[in-house]
Structure formats: structure tokens, C-alpha cells
Amino acid sequence: MKVQVYGTGCANCKALEKTAKKAIDELGVDVEVEKIEDMEKILEAGLLSVPGFAVEGDMKSMGRVPSVEEIKKWVKAKM
């Protein structure tokens, strides 16, 4: 399984990547965190504001840093 963190490198984008990794570590599952910084790919994903978070390409949040618990819930739902 793969999750995507969309962002241009801003503080919130970095915070989301860190939060996503923490959530996955707490779940103890084998999930790849893919960081997408290419603006063209960010726009293709339909993001209106960064950071964005997706599970297997399914956009779950944009423009905010979701909590560890939210991310864990989204990842578990795709397993």
C-alpha cells in the first residue's frame, strides 16, 4: 500500500509527512509514504491548497495537517 503526501516543502507539508510516518509506525503496517512536490502532479491530483494527503490515490484531505488518528483511520479503511 502507498500513501501520498502532496506539498511544495512548506512547514505544513513537512509536518504532514512527519505525521503520516508517525501514524504508519503506530499501526505497524508496511505502507510506503510517497512525497509529491511536483506542482504539475499536485494540480493533476485536484489539490486547491497544500498540503494534501491521499491513500492509494484517494484524496483524504487538503489544505490542513490531519491528526495521527485521522490518518490511521484512513489507512486502516483501505487495508
One of 2, 8, 10, 29 is an active-site residue; which one? Answer: 10
At residue 2 the predicted structure's pLDDT band, cuts being 50, 70 and 90, is very high
The whole-model pTM stands at: 0.94
Interval 5-58: pLDDT, tens: 999 989 999 999 999 999 999 999 999 999 999 999 999 999 989 999 999 999
Domains recognised in the chain with CATH numbers:
2-77 (3.40.30.10)
Alpha helices (H) along 6-66 = 11-27, 39-44
The answer to whether 41 and 5 are in contact (CB under 8 A) is no
Q: Measured between alpha carbons, how far is 42 from 49 in angstroms, rounded to an integer?
A: 9
pLDDT at 56: 95
| Residue 10 bears catalytic tag | yes
| Residue 31 bears catalytic tag | no
One of 3, 6, 7, 13 is an active-site residue; which one? Answer: 13
Torsion angle defined by CA atoms of residues 23, 27, 31 and 17, in that order, rounded to the nearest 10 degrees: 10
